[in-house]
Amino acid sequence: MPTYEYQCQKCGLKFERFQNIKEEPIRECPECSGPVKKLISAGAGIIFKGSGFYLTDYRSENYKKAEKNEKEPASDTKSTNSETKTKKENAKI
């Protein structure tokens, strides 16, 4: 069940309640019986444990090789785009 956070508009008391989603929100402060306001909260963080939760867990071998080649330091000679395309085309053959 979700946790909802409330704040009393009369005495300022902040409190939390575990409530079913279908339940009516609380309207009255438990301390002073004043009106309460439902607060918007970030909620609980979700923790994924184990493998299989990241996009990189399913990368193909070709993608991993290409990424590795991109990370390697470039040589001193600069090549143009056409030379790079030719090298890639030759690598496919």
Give residue-wise pLDDT tens across range 26-75.
999 999 999 999 998 766 667 676 666 666 666 778 888 888 888 887 65
Look at the chain and count its residues.
93
**What pLDDT score does 8 carry?**
96
**What pLDDT score does 51 carry?**
65
Task: Give the start-to-end residue ranges of the domains of the chain.
Answer: 3-39
Contact 9/15 with Cβ under 8 angstroms? no
**What pLDDT score does 68 carry?**
86
Q: Residue 90 above 70 pLDDT?
A: no
Predicted model pTM: 0.45
Q: Percent helix, strand and coil across the chain, each rounded to 5?
A: 30, 20, 55
Q: Residue 21 above 60 pLDDT?
A: yes
